[in-house]
Structure 1
Amino acid sequence: MTQAWQFDVPTTGTKLLPPDARYMEALSSQGYGFEVAIADLVDNSIDAGAKDVVIHFLRDGDQLVSLLVVDDGHGMDDATLDVAMTVGGRRDYAPDSLGMFGTGLKSASLSHASAVTVVSTTKRTRTVGRRWLMERAVSGFQCDIVDPDYAQTLIDRYADRPIVWQGTVVRWDGVKDFPKHGGGGQTDRYLQRTLSKLGLHLGLHLHRFLAREDFNITIAVEDVRTGTIFLDFGVDPLDPFDYPVSGSPSYPRRFIARVDGVGDVALDAHIWTPKSNRDEYKALGSVIDRQGFYFYRHDRLVQAGGWNNFRQPEQHLSLARVAVDLPNDSGDAFRLTVKKSGVEASPDYTSALEAATAEDGHTFLTYLADADSVYREARKRSGTTRKPVIPPGKGIAPSVREVIEEELPLIPFENPISVRWQLLDNEIFFEIDRENRTIAMNQRYRSAILGGRSGGLNDAPMLKALLYLLLHKVFESEYAGPREKDNLQLWQSILVAAARSESGRVSDDEQ
């Protein structure tokens, strides 16, 4: 006989079960990207009322040694700093605060550094400091008290800018992302790549703050031994809705979605200018990544694109972007990830989208059709007919594949062309395998082409894209004629010479 189901679980009491110290390891293993982690620290600066934030990379010759985030916010006294350094520390968040869970500073920092030091001063209290050392944190939540004299020295280092009367310094040491060996130009290449990505990420996710006259973020690189400033530049706002002319005169248009448990949610729907080359459109990822919802929480962008299970992304909706300011009380309809890098929307929200309307009766579903139509009409008006091609495959970076598929019609039902590395004779740069639809690049030249960087499946994206554009037609014919064979030999010779020249340059740099 089936027992009656009990809807409430009976209990007999409670028992205190504090977290094991290893919880710190779990806290630091949440998959924070480098740019996402830095943005989380800048959020704290904004909550502290900062007007000027400096992200400072410190190097000693070729070796990167520390990273600091410095602000001129209202600072912290001894007790407040203890709360800030406590995992899940309780504090009263302002209604418009960017912080939420009390874990961002610790989890973001210890995801990327073996030690995080926080030093802070206010107009009325002495300078104080705390340090989480990962190896000590996991053995018992032991947080170090920073020597007051050193704490003051670190504050004084930034006395001219940005800290005048008050402020905070967050210092990372043992940064996992830094090159282990900075020689051979590795540090310079790392900084060039990382600073560009960091500037774009901060410019995008904090663009509403950066557009204000009284808020600035600066990224700088300094040599601690010589005091030389290598780089010092301000982060520009990157507004994903900053187009010169709308793709349709009927947009932007506001739709209202009535979400159960939340109420009215405004959807500001935009259609971008077709074939735009502006950074605000092109620098945000692939065509799949760019379209969809841009969720904001207290003016901070927390999700840049995606349809949140409402529909699948597709090429013809690449001009569609929708700005959504999350309500203060989102209930279960919108759940922000701890990293503030995405929003989980409930089925109630996706259902409400189907019934969302504008004041004039226009529906949200009609907006999607309009965005699709603008994209298709722009392609027709271009006046050019491009021949279909065999699609690109493995080895070509996803963002490159997306653009190729956006710009060129694809031959249906064809296996894609892959690009991979393979050990070949010295006199050969590439080899074509028609049967398996593969372009093999000579492994002997890989290190030179990558400039000493570690490789991966989708490395050397520019060279692979150029090879695809040169060679895709070869796979579309069953055999190579005399002219095609001559072209292949020509390209082979030139590329081998270029690769050998690159190898020699890299060897010179390493000496």
Structure 2
Amino acid sequence: MTLKCHFFSLFLNYMKESLKLERNEPAADVLSKSIRSMGYSLESAIADVIDNSISAGAHDVQVKFPVDPSDVYIAICDNGSGMNKAELFDAMKYGSVLKGDNRSESDLGRFGMGLKSASHSQCRRLTVISKKSDMISGYVWDLDLVDEKKDWIMINLSENQVCDVRHYDYLSNKKSGTVVVWENFDFIRKETGDEYAGIVDQQNAVSDYLSLIFHRFLSKDKKDRLSIKVNNFSLIPFDPFLESHKKTTVRKEITLPIEDANGVERKITAIPYVLPFQKDLSEDDKKLSGGIENYRTKQGYYIYRNERLIVWGTWFNRHRDELSKYARVKVDIPNTLDDIWGIDIKKQSAKIPASIRQRLNRAVDDVMDVAVKKQTYRGRIAKVNDDFEYVWNRIDNRGNFVYSINRESSLFKLLESKVNEDAMPYVEMVLKEIEQNVPFQQIYVDKSQDKIDEVVSDERIAEITENAKMMVQMVMELNSSLTREEAVENVFKKEPFCKHPEIKEKV
């Protein structure tokens, strides 16, 4: 018998033996602690529960914050399709079977985990009652009980116990619906020392977040419109694109076909917008756009999954420049592309697949054509020496000069490469303020009186020398074909190095 035949015979004998299978369930009290640490904020957790309300066809959602320090809870009530007892039991399961098997293309859910993971990220006791076919059922996940029993044990509420659940009366005059109640906010209590104040202080932030995340549902035609109330205050939808503003420029919608994980062609749509100047905004416009503090820092892609905002205010590492400061691009993706887009369990992050990033960037470049016409100086950069790269641009605008920091300079490119994308808008905001607040008059007065200290200290010379060495090394890494001498010559055509040719030999 050959060696190959011998191993094949052993393999057949192995297969004839019955495999011994053993169940290895995770420890309930340990795993529940891990699930609680997924990084939800209070507002994102509430939004995740409202996703279920929308998926259930709700048109009315009411979020109840506490009004009495002695009775601290949050409730989310909706008039959706509701659940019978079996459906509610499954919905309370970590990894809902029905959710995974029968997710419709309009479903805002993801893994069948949102209700539980979002709720327990904020509280230890989750109660859900739901009405369907005139029957109201209820279950409770109490993590104190899970820790005590060290098992996935829920409380099955009796008919009388269901009636005692907060906001049971919301369901009494509804054909169907669901009430979710959170209690025992241990994380907030530990963080703030005051459970009631810690929750109430976040009420406005939650309202603003929901007004943005669900703004397209809140602004639909009356028949399909979603109403969200926070303690009886009706939310007004934000409009991050200021679509009704007469000075907003809307570019042509583009459609990008892309195959899902099963090879089925799906459609992604993108609409670029160029927003008005800040000076053209009323106070209402500023509020509708998401707040003036975000007007410049939250430009970029706005990614919607089934019309629900997932990610916003990012260019996904695309180069930011002066031309993109008022540009926002609305991108719609279906839930059938979740795997390709890397939608996380919290539905708070997404990544543009390489297969469509380039095509979306072309849409951004298209909108930039308009931004160039609307928002750049119609002048030329006037240099003292065209061979040198300056830190400041002097722009000749029909005989009047405007000064701006040269964002194409090597020093700025170095800064841009070291600062993360989220922080870069704030860097840009600071630089813009520096440009707008140069004390020209005082500089002129001090210069005319010969009071400006222009002596370059030895310490400054040493600093410039070390910076030059670093820049030479960076230039050589970017272009390996350059000799060190060529790299030095390249660097010493840039400010501040061009002003100090005497240190070239030290570099």
TM-score class, shorter = 0.5 to 0.7
> C-alpha displacement at 1:198, in angstroms?
0.8
**Aligned residue type for 2:126:** V
CA–CA separation in structure 2 for the residues paired with 1:120 and 1:375: 54
Does the C-alpha gap of structure 1 residues 374 and 176 become closer, same or farther in structure 2, counting only changes over 3 Å? farther
CA–CA separation in structure 1 for the residues paired with 2:247 and 2:31: 50
Aligned to 2:43: 35
Aligned to 2:151: 140
> C-alpha displacement at 1:181, in angstroms?
11
> C-alpha displacement at 1:170, in angstroms?
0.7
| Aligned match for 1:107, one of 92, 104, 117 | 117
Does the C-alpha gap of structure 1 residues 243 and 110 become closer, same or farther in structure 2, counting only changes over 3 Å? same
**Structure 1, residues 430-456: CA drift from partner, whole Å, max 9, x if none?**
xxxxxxxxxxxxxxxxxxxxxxxxxxx
Aligned to 2:495: none
Within-5 A mapping of 1:219-298: 219-220=230-231, 232-245=232-245, 247=247, 251-257=250-256, 259=258, 262=265, 265-275=268-278, 276=281, 278-283=286-291, 286=294, 289-298=297-306
**Structure 1, residues 179-228: CA drift from partner, whole Å, max 9, x if none?**
67999x9956862x4122111111111111111324211111xxxxxxxx
**Structure 1, residues 113-158: CA drift from partner, whole Å, max 9, x if none?**
0111111122332x22111112333521111112321212337643
Does the C-alpha gap of structure 1 residues 376 and 282 become closer, same or farther in structure 2, counting only changes over 3 Å? farther
**Structure 1, residues 217-243: CA drift from partner, whole Å, max 9, x if none?**
1111xxxxxxxxxxx311111121224
CA–CA separation in structure 2 for the residues paired with 1:68 and 1:284: 31
Aligned to 2:179: 169
Aligned to 1:323: 330
**Aligned residue type for 2:143:** M
CA–CA separation in structure 1 for the residues paired with 2:179 and 2:401: 56
8 Å Cα contact 2:107-2:335 kept in structure 1: no
CA–CA separation in structure 2 for the residues paired with 1:35 and 1:163: 28
CA–CA separation in structure 1 for the residues paired with 2:188 and 2:181: 14
State the identity %.
25
Aligned to 2:353: 346
> C-alpha displacement at 1:168, in angstroms?
1.3
Does the C-alpha gap of structure 1 residues 190 and 114 become closer, same or farther in structure 2, counting only changes over 3 Å? closer
Higher relative helix content: 2
Aligned to 1:44: 52
8 Å Cα contact 2:188-2:195 kept in structure 1: no
8 Å Cα contact 1:267-1:324 kept in structure 2: yes
**Structure 1, residues 6-33: CA drift from partner, whole Å, max 9, x if none?**
xxxx998795543332222222110001
| Match status 1:409 vs 2:417 | no
RMSD, aligned CA: 3.8
> C-alpha displacement at 1:366, in angstroms?
3.2
**Aligned residue type for 1:129:** G
Q: Secondary structure of the equivalent of 1:324?
A: strand
CA–CA separation in structure 1 for the residues paired with 2:430 and 2:375: 16
CA–CA separation in structure 2 for the residues paired with 1:158 and 1:407: 55
Within-5 A mapping of 1:204-223: 204-212=212-220, 213=222, 214-220=225-231
Structure-1-length-normalised TM-score: 0.63
> C-alpha displacement at 1:71, in angstroms?
1.2
CA–CA separation in structure 2 for the residues paired with 1:378 and 1:197: 41
Within-5 A mapping of 1:334-483: 334-354=341-361, 356=362, 364-377=364-377, 403-409=429-435
Aligned to 1:199: 207
Structure-2-length-normalised TM-score: 0.63
**Structure 1: which 5+ runs fail to align?**
1-9, 221-231, 357-362, 392-396, 413-511
**Aligned residue type for 2:268:** V
8 Å Cα contact 2:296-2:326 kept in structure 1: no
8 Å Cα contact 1:70-1:162 kept in structure 2: no
Aligned to 1:459: none
> C-alpha displacement at 1:321, in angstroms?
0.8
8 Å Cα contact 1:290-1:304 kept in structure 2: yes
> C-alpha displacement at 1:386, in angstroms?
9.1
Aligned to 2:315: 307
Aligned to 1:158: 169
**Structure 1, residues 234-269: CA drift from partner, whole Å, max 9, x if none?**
1111121224436565x3222344546656532111
Aligned to 1:96: 106
CA–CA separation in structure 2 for the residues paired with 1:384 and 1:407: 17
**Structure 1, residues 264-288: CA drift from partner, whole Å, max 9, x if none?**
5321111111114522335286456
8 Å Cα contact 1:118-1:129 kept in structure 2: yes
CA–CA separation in structure 1 for the residues paired with 2:115 and 2:346: 11
Does the C-alpha gap of structure 1 residues 244 and 404 become closer, same or farther in structure 2, counting only changes over 3 Å? farther
> C-alpha displacement at 1:384, in angstroms?
11
Aligned to 2:392: none
CA–CA separation in structure 2 for the residues paired with 1:84 and 1:43: 14
**Aligned residue type for 2:123:** A
Q: Secondary structure of the equivalent of 1:113?
A: coil
CA–CA separation in structure 1 for the residues paired with 2:183 and 2:127: 8
**Aligned residue type for 1:267:** A
Q: Secondary structure of the equivalent of 1:44?
A: helix
Q: Secondary structure of the equivalent of 1:267?
A: strand
Q: Secondary structure of the equivalent of 1:236?
A: coil
Q: Secondary structure of the equivalent of 1:343?
A: coil
Aligned to 1:78: 85
Aligned to 2:5: none
CA–CA separation in structure 1 for the residues paired with 2:31 and 2:299: 37
Q: Which range moves more in the overlay, 277-286 or 140-149?
A: 277-286
CA–CA separation in structure 2 for the residues paired with 1:171 and 1:53: 13
CA–CA separation in structure 2 for the residues paired with 1:401 and 1:63: 45
CA–CA separation in structure 2 for the residues paired with 1:110 and 1:408: 46
